[in-house]
Amino acid sequence: GVTVVQVDEEQLFYLMSRGINKDDAKDMIVDGFFESLISRVQQKQTQDALRYSLQKKRDKHELQTDFGF
């Protein structure tokens, strides 16, 4: 499966205006989105498994973002 996350254009612009390249900026925004969800999970082992899974999807280029432009 593929995960699609819609990212705020303004967030991307802000990070890029601070010298962060587009790919790194996208990663930071997506990580922040998922981290806000992962941090709600009570069990640390489950949090770690979710972070690992997210990283694996990114490494395999299975994690896509939809910026609408």
pLDDT at 52 over 90: yes
What average pLDDT does the segment 26-32 reach?
87
Q: What pLDDT is stored for residue 35 in this prediction?
A: 93
Residue 19 has a pLDDT of 97
Share of the chain above pLDDT 90, in %: 48
Token pair listed for 32: 């922040």
Residues 6+ apart with CB under 8 A from 26: 7, 12, 65, 67
In the predicted structure, residue 27 carries a pLDDT above the cut 70? yes
Q: What is the mean pLDDT of the chain?
A: 84
Closest CA to 27 of 60, 1, 65, 68: 65
Q: Is the pLDDT of residue 2 over 60?
A: no
